Amino acid sequence: MKLVLASCCAPCSAGAIKQLADGEIAGVDDFIVLFYNPNIFPNDEYIKRMNEQIRYCKELGVKYAIGDWNHDAWRDAVRGLENEPERGRRCDACFAYRFAYAREFALKNGYDAVASVFGVSRHKDQSQVDAAAQHTLGEIAYLPIRWDENLRQSIGRASNFYRQNYCGCEFSFRKSTAPTKEMVLVAK
């Protein structure tokens, strides 16, 4: 099986990438890490996360692909859901939007299946991620892999990954991540 691993950031994906690179996931012969996250805001946050993902993939000699950062299109996909709580309907729409891209990427590039690390974060719900994938991927298989959390944490402790304290979108900022005046102006 050829697998697309949809990834949100290096800290969440490190263990999964290592497991795949080490051949620990049965049936997966080939894989690529797909970083497609137009939900991440602002752009400099996106660049930081993308660069960490690229750095880790290069470190392990793993293939990766980077999708375009089209934040306006993502905003259109979640329009009307801006005030939803974390793990609410906005997250459903966000996951579906990103899985739709992963589906098209897989079809275009000859991959059979998609897995993700979108539910690894403490800010997200794995069952919600799984439901969005199963609803969106169509003829592309979804592998709801339960990644080795101990491995992920071990790699995280040993790395110097850039870490963030919110999911990524401007609607998920935590109180400790107060948006700057520039962020507020751009988000409108």
Q: Which two tokens stand for residue 33?
A: 């890490």
How does pLDDT run across 63-100, given as a tens digit for each residue?
Answer: 999 999 999 999 999 999 999 988 999 999 999 999 99
pTM for this entry: 0.89
How does pLDDT run across 132-156, given as a tens digit for each residue?
Answer: 999 999 999 999 988 888 887 888 7
In this structure, what DSSP letter does residue 114 have? E
For the chain, which domains are there?
2-187 (3.40.50.620)
Q: Which two tokens stand for residue 75?
A: 């905003």
